[in-house]
Copies of this chain bind each other. A is one copy, B any other.
């Protein structure tokens, strides 16, 4: 029998672990036979020495099988989830779940909290009064059957090994590892028996994969592993150099989603959301081509079916669905302050990371696990990259509650914007699409 130390040592020495060794290590950790510090040392060895696709596959399987999973066999339609590697203003999950569901796809969506400078879908949903992000497994089934979609947090049944390992990675500087990210995303998603997955890998300064090279490597790894696990996958690599849409912050983003589902959304948000939704519809077997699927997605919005689904999802999860018709029921910040341009020209920087940090500094995110989210605060961008701006024009609205937080956020906001006399070339919104 190989010991935990020998498994760490093998990876330390750039060896390739067998599926049995990875299995013994993860099961040993979950049964407390292997300590946190041994897993931490192993994670650093994996971070620095990497893993083969076979190893990543074994790790994904083992983490997926660490919990009971979600039994969705009583639902006959195809189940498709969507995941994003995290960005600023990235509220597409809240848009694509109702659209895909309105088009006949079942969407069991597992989502997370704000992390670092990025926002979290669960935190956004909690801005809706009464919304329950942790329904019981029975209730998940009932919600899926009534609303066609559920948006919920990870539970103890869903890849608990991923939860424990993720918490450890967070405090040991081992987050940004392609095999570990691959296993984390897929173990969680595949624990709910989905037929297909659409993954949005963000690239750019506001993402966790700043370069196209790392974004592509992550996409490739996920496509390869997912393919071996007999689940269809489409990965879109999309841009996160500036925030997506105009709203950053929980209630503000819900409001923007509602606007979008009612036919009034910013163009970049539309481009990315419709592309993601279309791939979900196609993987869910409701369309033959992306063209047809896109048309269905647009129609779900224009005919009001998606907004109706959003109402149903909120209602089924205990939230106040009246917000869809009256967004003023959402929490509102006590103060709104305008941030204005000091020069004429073109906006050449609208930095996603700095604006995400600024929003989180205002209270939209957490520095520590125990921090409380302020649902109403955040930023609303009046200008975006490439826009012509005049001195004195409003660049963004700052929604704030606490003066000291505002003071800390201001330097970040100031550094986030830059104006020049000539516009810079805009980056594409969708850099690449990979399919498994």
Contacts and interface: CB of A to CB of B under 8 A. Distances in A.
Contacts of A12: 44, 47-48, 173-174
Contact of A8 (B45, B49, B172): B172
Contact of A174 (B41, B172, B174): B41
A35 B48 CA distance: 21
Contact of A171 (B5, B47, B48): B5
Interface in A289-318: none
Contacts of A168: 37
Contacts of A44: 8, 12, 40-42, 44-45, 48
A172 B48 contact: no
A387 to B, nearest CB: 36
Given A12-B48, A47-B12, A49-B48, A41 B172 contact: yes
A38 B38 contact: no
Contacts of A172: 5, 8, 37-38, 40-41
Is the interface on chain A under 10, 10 to 19, 20 to 34, or 35 or more residues? Answer: 20 to 34
Contacts of A8: 44, 172-173
Contacts of A6: 173
Contacts of A240: none
A25 to B, nearest CB: 12
Interface in A1-28: 4-6, 8-9, 12
A45 B41 CA distance: 8
Contacts of A41: 40-41, 43-44, 172-174
A377 to B, nearest CB: 24
Contacts of A173: 5-6, 8-9, 12, 41
A39 interface: yes
A338 interface: no
B48 A45 contact: yes
A173 B48 CA distance: 15
A47 B42 CA distance: 12
A36 interface: yes
Closest 8 CB pairs of A and B: A41-B172, A37-B40, A44-B44, A9-B173, A8-B173, A36-B37, A40-B40, A40-B41
Interface of A: 4-6, 8-9, 12, 35-45, 47-49, 168, 171-174
20 contacts: A4-B171, A5-B172, A8-B44, A8-B172, A8-B173, A9-B173, A12-B44, A12-B174, A37-B37, A37-B40, A37-B168, A37-B171, A38-B40, A40-B172, A41-B172, A41-B173, A42-B44, A44-B45, A48-B48, A48-B49
